[in-house]
Homo-oligomer: A and B are copies of this chain.
């Protein structure tokens, strides 16, 4: 009834079935949901197979009457081939977590010698990009192109020609932008001015209102924090259209806590903001990527809701950052009054020259210089920590992903079977013809129904607790993925300063320039320390909050089960 399109190796413990390309399967249950179907192979083994990996062979006896020609619709929604792709990955918003977007700027551990890209080796139909089979993952995410791909107004401003939003875009662009540093720094050819020395050796530092002070707080160097923390609400997604309705897009309403006046932005505007922040602050401050375009959802609404939730998370994190939130470009995004102000602000931001490593020229620590050894040690420590945390976060994501699958797959099925078994025995008892049977059979039926309710609870629980644990860790995975780039800038600068004597000896720099470089690498270290302290403080808050929420919901979950079972228990009587 179905043909296997790609090899798929079952993961143990998930009711999955290993299949080979070209194999013919019999579909035993098409209504599993979550992008899975249950199928039987020729050896009689039954298990779950990802829908995307198989192609249903049309039953010639049913034929054309039952399956109308949908090719017209397909042209607009290529993912909607009946019963196959529409539901792919629907239930599992974590699908993209196990896949590192190729070339994405937030997965740079590979450029770190000790780094490993992913913790997971088994093929996972839920992980999107890395699978490489064409039908998969063309859910609502694919339609995105229709909503966000018209960069015409962008193109007119120059500098973004052909560049789509997000992944990989940074590499195509020239200049001293953050995402391209990885390339220019790793293979430092001699002593060009393309790396951190652009700042280390520059003649004139920025003056005046753009200064970013660093203070020494209780925990060490800290950014300047405004008295009231900025926040914003991303809400009310609306579908708009242009080109006489041929192209549609989603517009979100963003309301900052300062003005309380909503502004509208499309995903591509967020993406524009991300690029500006990355360019400007990326050397000093890890700027997490926007939620992936590949975020999937079974239905358009689900997709929009998920993307909005993640845009909200991203915006909140940016609002919480004192440097980012007070920057001109960020304020423009949140508070522009009209189209004209927006367009002018955009043009100005794109012409900003204090980008890349030059951001350090605006930083002014109110503290004495640190010597190179300490700078080096701090940098190493942060590098170790962020790498270790990246591993820890990925472990939680992997385990959580497994747990999600079990809670929504085999567990509810098992509790349902227990419930059915009790109810079946109860109905047998009911047929005994013996009097005084009903107390027992009523109680057993109730107990059976309780286990069916528990099955349902298990299936729905992850959305109530695991979801947030996963979202938070996913956010941190994204954030941690930016550190290798940021730390890389620092390491390159430290290496350069270490070469100081040699550079003086070979007359590449003057002795005065050597002193300046040492001072400036100290400034960079203060910036990194302030950023790490900001990161730690947020991390402690975030993990406290998400663990509280998780455990609170878990407690409720188990208490509800206990209460339901207690009620079921009360119906039994021993005479």
User: A: which residues have CB within 8 A of B?
Assistant: 9-10, 12-18, 43, 45-48, 218-219, 381, 384-385, 388-389, 391-393, 395-396, 399-400, 402-403, 406, 410-411, 414, 417-418, 421-422, 424-425, 428-429, 431-437, 439-440, 443-444, 447, 532-533, 536-537, 539-541, 543-545, 547-548, 551-552, 554-555, 558-559, 561-562, 565-566, 568-569, 572-575
Residues of chain B within 8 A (CB-CB) of A421 are 392, 395-396, 399-400
Give the contacting residue for A13; candidates B381, B385, B410, B544; CB below 8 A: B410
**Inter-subunit contact A437/B540 (CB<8 Å):** yes
Least distance between A50 CB and chain B CB atoms (Å): 15
Please give me the 10 A-B residue pairs with the lowest Cβ-Cβ distance, nearest first.
Answer: A551-B569, A558-B562, A392-B425, A434-B536, A13-B15, A12-B15, A12-B47, A392-B428, A559-B562, A13-B410
**Inter-subunit contact B544/A555 (CB<8 Å):** no
Closest residue of B by beta carbon distance from A573:
B544
Residues of chain B within 8 A (CB-CB) of A9 are 43, 45
Give the contacting residue for A12; candidates B16, B436, B547, B573; CB below 8 A: B16
**Inter-subunit contact A414/B403 (CB<8 Å):** yes
**Inter-subunit contact A540/B440 (CB<8 Å):** yes
**Inter-subunit contact A440/B45 (CB<8 Å):** no
Question: Within the assembled complex, what's the spacing in Å between the Cα atoms of A31 and B219?
Answer: 47
Main secondary structure of the interface of A (DSSP, over half): helix
Which of A16, A399, A437 has the largest count of B CB atoms less than 10 A from its CB? A399
Question: Within the assembled complex, what's the spacing in Å between the Cα atoms of A421 and B473?
Answer: 12
Least distance between A100 CB and chain B CB atoms (Å): 20
**Inter-subunit contact A424/B406 (CB<8 Å):** no
Give the contacting residue for A559; candidates B14, B410, B559; CB below 8 A: B559
Question: Within the assembled complex, what's the spacing in Å between the Cα atoms of A425 and B429?
Answer: 52
**Inter-subunit contact A392/B555 (CB<8 Å):** no
Number of copies: 2
Give the contacting residue for A551; candidates B47, B432, B572; CB below 8 A: B572
Residues of chain B within 8 A (CB-CB) of A399 are 414, 417-418, 421
Closest residue of B by beta carbon distance from A556:
B562
**Inter-subunit contact A574/B544 (CB<8 Å):** yes
Report if A436-B540 is in contact (Cβ < 8 Å); known contacts: A9-B45, A403-B418, A551-B572. Answer: yes
Least distance between A370 CB and chain B CB atoms (Å): 15
15 A-B residue pairs with CB within 8 Å:
A12-B45, A13-B47, A13-B410, A219-B436, A396-B422, A396-B425, A399-B414, A399-B421, A402-B417, A434-B533, A434-B536, A437-B536, A547-B569, A551-B566, A554-B565
Report if A385-B428 is in contact (Cβ < 8 Å); known contacts: A399-B421, A437-B540, A566-B555. Answer: yes
Question: Within the assembled complex, what's the spacing in Å between the Cα atoms of A391 and B431?
Answer: 14
**Inter-subunit contact B218/A435 (CB<8 Å):** yes
Residues of chain B within 8 A (CB-CB) of A43 are 9
Question: Within the assembled complex, what's the spacing in Å between the Cα atoms of A539 and B441?
Answer: 12
Residues of chain B within 8 A (CB-CB) of A400 are 418, 421
Report if A414-B385 is in contact (Cβ < 8 Å); known contacts: A432-B536, A555-B569. Answer: no
Question: Within the assembled complex, what's the spacing in Å between the Cα atoms of A330 and B447?
Answer: 38
Least distance between A256 CB and chain B CB atoms (Å): 23
Report if A551-B568 is in contact (Cβ < 8 Å); known contacts: A46-B12, A385-B432, A418-B403. Answer: yes
Least distance between A179 CB and chain B CB atoms (Å): 27
Least distance between A437 CB and chain B CB atoms (Å): 7
Residues of chain B within 8 A (CB-CB) of A545 are 574
Give the contacting residue for A219; candidates B16, B47, B417, B434; CB below 8 A: B434
Residues of chain B within 8 A (CB-CB) of A218 are 435
Question: Within the assembled complex, what's the spacing in Å between the Cα atoms of A539 and B433?
Answer: 13
Report if A547-B575 is in contact (Cβ < 8 Å); known contacts: A16-B12, A396-B421. Answer: no
Question: Within the assembled complex, what's the spacing in Å between the Cα atoms of A432 and B17?
Answer: 43
Least distance between A572 CB and chain B CB atoms (Å): 4
**Inter-subunit contact A414/B402 (CB<8 Å):** yes
Least distance between A59 CB and chain B CB atoms (Å): 26
Question: Within the assembled complex, what's the spacing in Å between the Cα atoms of A396 and B575?
Answer: 24
Least distance between A126 CB and chain B CB atoms (Å): 17
Given contacts A12-B48, A18-B45, 10 further A-B contacts (CB under 8 A): A9-B43, A12-B17, A13-B13, A13-B14, A385-B431, A385-B432, A399-B414, A402-B414, A544-B572, A555-B569
Question: Within the assembled complex, what's the spacing in Å between the Cα atoms of A447 and B555?
Answer: 12
Residues of chain B within 8 A (CB-CB) of A443 are 544, 547
Residues of chain B within 8 A (CB-CB) of A429 are 389, 539-540, 543
Closest residue of B by beta carbon distance from A417:
B399
Residues of chain B within 8 A (CB-CB) of A444 are 543, 547
Question: Within the assembled complex, what's the spacing in Å between the Cα atoms of A12 and B44?
Answer: 12
**Inter-subunit contact A562/B565 (CB<8 Å):** no
Closest residue of B by beta carbon distance from A393:
B425
Least distance between A417 CB and chain B CB atoms (Å): 5
Question: Within the assembled complex, what's the spacing in Å between the Cα atoms of A444 and B537?
Answer: 16
Question: Within the assembled complex, what's the spacing in Å between the Cα atoms of A329 and B435?
Answer: 33
Question: Within the assembled complex, what's the spacing in Å between the Cα atoms of A400 and B551?
Answer: 29
